[in-house]
């Protein structure tokens, strides 16, 4: 394919070559290094998907737009450039919108491109096919939303969407393309000239020197310092500098879920196994790309040593983040360091040399003591072999498989299936763990798994609760269709959280959290030509996973675990409103 725009044939030989909206869009994306579209065809974008494929783009077609959207979002996180999702108007757009909102919430760069109905009809509300004012609907749920009406503006539209998605705090961007736009034709040379190759889409943001001074002064004063790495730190790709910062300062660190593996979880400074000790005990906390949201108990309350849920624990915070308004959003930030993480960490490192004094031995020993105790306790639990399997004995197998395949991507969703996996399965490399993120959203599983396989070519292991899997389960067909090296493991306990609840009304219906007993999920994968495995023991699970990783064939392992094993909402039971006591 030549670098020039593909001209639309013109009837008269003397007429200048023309180009249509379809090809301008494809060329604008390709010009900016976007080579994959996740989507679902239909009016008005069916031809766009065909043409994109004809022009050498990878077009991954899904069974539901939400999964395509999740795939695009996580592709954005994996690559640090926007993932693109393409949907049809109104219902397709709405199906994709959840993923766009989730991407924005998680700071993943993504562009949702949706075809839309005719503006004149939509604006007069005359009842067009799939009519909806999509731009207005998308706006509050994403970082930016744009509409392109004229073919000559497609280049600008794509450039603005890319910049909005990746610059500053990354997020989701909506691009509305009414059906008529695609068929518009303009002079091919003018079209080519209208496209923009975005230069430096996510410019560095250098922190102020005084912010660095303030942060270092506070960090130096600490008796019990702690570093907290969030998924922003993983996204920033400053892996070497972050590791150097941790190791040179000697400060214990915690990784948030998707930051696991930024340094190997087995690193001696990892305090993950002593989390409930270090959070309340630390006196100065350096946050790097992590927000003090609900996942960190808003930086206060009992988790942090406060008297009750509103009380400050007394810690001082240094926060490194690209978003200035993140500071003080929950508690006082004593030393805000605003800038991109790469620049901030290297500015800190420039002032942290070999003479930096390590934290007091008393603190390090206390952390090590808790950690060793908890690691030993965990080892004891993992060594057990209960019948039926429970979360721990099944995940002990996953832990070994991931250790043996540290390049594999790990997707994870569920409640107990999420919490146990996060604490049991160590990660060894950055950006390998992809999960429910900031919202704790179910449904990311198969979309993330598809994109992880497509974008990295590595084997993907998806650890799924049986409820969680149901949200995107139909995409096993997509996994088989593209023959992706995805091994789905369903930790099947017959329901949401567990399978043993009773109908409180005593009627014939099962309880709202209960599913069909002994469902044979593995047959779903077999239905589309993949491998299905029914595993009731750790040995069967191990055999199935090893074979899946070795063969790279789409595999679904239905791992049957004790249906009484799960607790309500996993580790966030306390977020359930307490029912009023019956009088």
Q: Which residues bind ligand ADP (CB under 6 A)?
A: 106-107, 169-170, 230-232, 235-236, 256, 258-259, 289-291, 293, 295, 321-323, 326, 340-341, 438
- Of the two residues 115 and 443, which places its CB atom closer to ligand TZD in the complex? 443
Residue 284 site contact among ligand ADP, ligand TZD, none (CB < 5 to 8 Å, cut-off depends on kind): none
| Binding partner of residue 414 among ligand TZD, ligand ADP, none, CB cut-off 5 to 8 Å per kind | ligand TZD
Mind spelling out the 3-state secondary structure of 7-33? CECCCCCCCCCEEEHHHHHHHHHHHCC
**List of E strands, 214-315:** 225-229, 253-255, 284-288
Query: Which x/- pattern over 445-484 shows residues binding ligand TZD (rule: CB under 6 A)?
Result: --------------------xxxx----------------
Pick from 139, 206, 554, 218: nearest CA to 350: 206
Residue number with CB closer to ligand TZD (361 or 575): 575
Give the CA count within 13 Å in the CB-facing half-sphere of 207.
29
DSSP 8-state class, residue 311? S
Task: Give the Cα separation of 215 and 20 in Å (integer).
Answer: 54
Give the CA diameter of the chain. 88
List the single partner that 467 binds among ligand TZD, ligand ADP, none, CB under 5 to 8 Å by kind: ligand TZD
Tell me, by CB under 6 A, how many residues bind ligand TZD: 18
CA-closest candidate to residue 331, choices 356, 350, 306: 306
Q: Is 535 in the site for ligand TZD (CB under 6 A)?
A: no
Distance CA 102, CA 123 (A): 28
Interaction of residue 416 with ligand TZD, rule CB under 6 A = yes
Structure tokens at 157: 């539209």
Between 287 and 525, CB nearer to ligand ADP: 287
Identify the residue among 57, 228, 282, 496 touching ligand TZD (CB under 6 A): 496
**Are 225 and 284 within 8 A, CB to CB?**
yes
From ligand ADP, ligand TZD, none, interface partner of 258 (C-beta below 5 to 8 A by class):
ligand ADP
Alpha-carbon distance of 213 to 306, in angstroms, equals 28
DSSP letter for 359, please: P
Q: How far is the CB of 452 from ligand TZD (least distance, A)?
A: 19
Nearest Cα neighbor of 127 from 90, 163, 101 is 90
The three-class DSSP label of residue 72 is: helix
Q: Which among ligand ADP, ligand TZD, none contacts residue 438 (Cβ within 5 to 8 A by kind)?
A: ligand ADP
411 near ligand TZD (CB under 6 A):
no
Q: How many CB atoms lie under 10 A from the CB of residue 11?
A: 5
Residue number with CB closer to ligand ADP (116 or 270): 270
> Are the beta carbons of 68 and 88 closer than 8 angstroms?
no
417 binds ligand TZD (CB under 6 A): yes
Find the length of the chain: 583
Closer Cβ to ligand TZD, 289 or 414, answer by number: 414
Output the smallest distance, CB 525 to ligand TZD, in A: 18
Nearer Cβ to ligand ADP (436/496): 436
Could you say which of ligand ADP, ligand TZD, none residue 497 binds, taking C-beta under 5 to 8 angstroms by partner kind?
Answer: ligand TZD
Task: List C-alpha distances in Å: 366 to 245, 255, 360, 361, 369.
Answer: 21, 19, 10, 8, 5
Least CB distance from residue 399 to ligand TZD, whole Å? Answer: 16
Instruction: From the list ligand TZD, ligand ADP, none, pick the one residue 326 interacts with, judged by a Cβ distance below 5 to 8 Å according to partner type.
Output: ligand ADP
Residues that bind ligand TZD (CB under 6 A): 414-417, 440-443, 465-468, 491, 493, 496-497, 566, 570
């Amino acid at each position: 394919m030549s670098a020039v725009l593909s001209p639309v044939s013109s009837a008269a030989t003397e007429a200048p070559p023309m180009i249509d909206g379809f090809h301008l869009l494809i060329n604008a994306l390709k010009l900016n290094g976007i080579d994959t579209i996740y989507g679902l065809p239909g009016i008005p974008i069916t031809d766009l998907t065909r043409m994109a494929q004809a022009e050498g783009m990878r077009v991954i077609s899904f069974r539901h737009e939400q999964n395509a959207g999740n795939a695009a979002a996580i592709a954005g996180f994996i690559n640090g450039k926007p993932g693109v999702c393409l949907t049809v108007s109104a219902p397709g757009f709405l199906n994709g919108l959840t993923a766009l909102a989730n991407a924005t919430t998680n700071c993943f760069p993504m562009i949702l491109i949706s075809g839309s109905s005719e503006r004149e009809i939509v604006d007069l509300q005359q009842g067009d096919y799939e009519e909806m004012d999509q731009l207005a609907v998308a706006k509050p749920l994403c970082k930016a939303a744009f509409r392109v009406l004229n073919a000559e503006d497609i280049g600008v539209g794509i450039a603005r969407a890319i910049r909005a998605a990746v610059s500053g705090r990354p997020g989701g961007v909506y691009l509305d393309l009414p059906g008529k736009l695609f068929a518009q034709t303009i002079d091919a040379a003018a079209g080519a000239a209208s496209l923009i190759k975005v230069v430096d889409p996510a410019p560095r943001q250098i922190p102020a020197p005084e912010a660095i001074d303030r942060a270092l002064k506070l960090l130096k004063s600490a008796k019990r310092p702690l570093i907290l790495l969030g998924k922003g730190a993983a996204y920033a790709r400053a892996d070497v500098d972050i590791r150097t910062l941790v190791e040179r300062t000697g400060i214990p660190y915690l990784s948030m879920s998707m930051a696991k593996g930024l340094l190997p979880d087995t690193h001696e400074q990892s305090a993950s196994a002593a989390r409930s000790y270090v959070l309340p005990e630390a006196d100065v906390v350096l946050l790097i790309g992590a927000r003090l949201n609900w996942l960190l108990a808003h930086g206060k309350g009992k988790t942090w040593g406060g008297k009750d849920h509103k009380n400050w624990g007394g810690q001082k915070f240094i926060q490194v983040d690209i978003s200035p308004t993140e500071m003080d959003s929950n508690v006082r930030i004593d030393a805000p360091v605003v800038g991109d993480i790469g620049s901030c960490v290297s500015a800190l490192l420039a002032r942290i040399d070999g003479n930096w004094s390590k934290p007091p031995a008393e603190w390090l020993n206390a952390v090590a003591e808790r950690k060793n105790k908890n690691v030993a306790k965990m080892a004891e639990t993992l060594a057990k072999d209960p019948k039926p399997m429970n979360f721990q004995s099944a995940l002990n197998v996953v832990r070994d498989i991931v250790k043996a395949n540290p390049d594999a991507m790990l997707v994870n969703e569920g409640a107990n299936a999420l919490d146990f996996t996060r604490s049991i399965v160590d990660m060894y490399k950055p950006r390998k763990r992809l999960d429910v993120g900031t919202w704790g959203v179910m449904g990311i599983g198969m979309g993330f798994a598809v994109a992880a396989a497509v974008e990295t070519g590595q084997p993907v292991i998806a650890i799924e609760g049986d409820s969680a899997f149901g949200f995107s389960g139909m995409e096993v067909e997509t996994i088989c269709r593209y023959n992706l090296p995805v091994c789905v493991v369903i930790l099947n306990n017959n329901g949401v959280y567990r399978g043993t609840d009773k109908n409180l009304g005593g009627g014939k219906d099962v309880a709202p959290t209960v599913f069909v007993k002994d469902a044979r999920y593995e047959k779903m994968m077999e239905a589309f030509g993949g491998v299905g495995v029914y595993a009731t023991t750790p040995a069967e699970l191990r055999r199935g996973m090893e074979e899946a990783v070795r063969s790279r064939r789409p595999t679904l392992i239905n791992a049957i675990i004790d249906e009484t094993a799960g607790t309500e909402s996993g580790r966030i039971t306390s977020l359930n409103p307490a029912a009023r006591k019956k009088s």
